[in-house]
Structure formats: C-alpha cells, structure tokens
Amino acid sequence: EVQLVESGGGLVQPGRSLRLSCAASGFTFDDYAMHWVRQAPGKGLEWVSGISWNSGSIGYADSVKGRFTISRDNAKNSLYLQMNSLRAEDTALYYCAKDIVIAAAGGTAFDYWGQGTLVTVSS
C-alpha cells in the first residue's frame, strides 16, 4: 500500500524558516518524480514544487521561487521542502504527491497524496 506521510509543519513567524518532510513507502520511491502542492484555508490547490526521480529536473511556482528548495533522499525514501523567508500568504496545508508515470522528467498527474501538514505563518 502506497503511503505518503508529511511532517514538519507548525506555527512560524514571518521571515523565519521551516523544513517539511515526506516519508514514502509502498512503492519504489526512486522511480518517480515527487511534488509539493499546497492549499490555503478554504482555497484551491496550488502546485509548489516538483523534483524528478534522480533530482535532475526541479521546478518551482513563481510564488516560491528563490525562497523554497525541494530535495529528496532516495536512500531514505524521503522528500523535503526547505522554506525560507516565510510570508503570511504561505499559510496552507502542504501535501506531498507522487507522479503516476515512472521516470517522467517534467512531472505528470498525481496518483497518491499524503494527508498534508499545516504551515501557519503569523506573528
């Protein structure tokens, strides 16, 4: 059974940093690109960042470019999101999601999602 479990969320002050983690199991992690998608309270979905299976291709939404860094450790079946210079508008539930297609460099649709970790940016 595929499982994605996010952690690392919490309350943080504007301008501070936070690191999210996603622990994956139930599939061959290093075969698939992975992504972070967020959802502000009561709002829609926003793709944040994605990373290819071998970390050779990485992308970011314009809203987080230069502030967030995605990475993965295939030996640990884990995905990360380092979030710096946090703003109030970064407040959201952050989901980790898996590509549906093996070894897709640009990312595809997302067939499995975690339950999310909540990040609240407030003073």
Given the complex with other proteins, which of 29 and 36 has the nearer CB atom?
Answer: 36
Which residues of this protein are in contact with other proteins, per CB under 8 A?
A: 35, 37, 44-47, 50, 59, 61-62, 95, 100, 106-111, 113-116
Report in angstroms how near the CB of residue 7 gets to other proteins at its nearest. Answer: 15
Report in angstroms how near the CB of residue 110 gets to other proteins at its nearest. Answer: 6
Given the complex with other proteins, which of 8 and 59 has the nearer CB atom?
Answer: 59
HSE-up (13 A, CA, CB side) for residue 58: 14
Both structure tokens of 81: 């999101």
Phi then psi dihedrals of residue 116, to 5 deg: 95, 155
| Residues whose CB is less than 8 angstroms from the CB of residue 106 and which lie 6 or more positions away in sequence, other chains included | 52, 57, 59
Report in angstroms how near the CB of residue 61 gets to other proteins at its nearest. Answer: 8
Q: Which residues pair with 49 in a beta bridge?
A: 36, 60
Given the complex with other proteins, which of 75 and 99 has the nearer CB atom?
Answer: 99
HSE-up (13 A, CA, CB side) for residue 29: 19
Report in angstroms how near the CB of residue 13 gets to other proteins at its nearest. Answer: 27
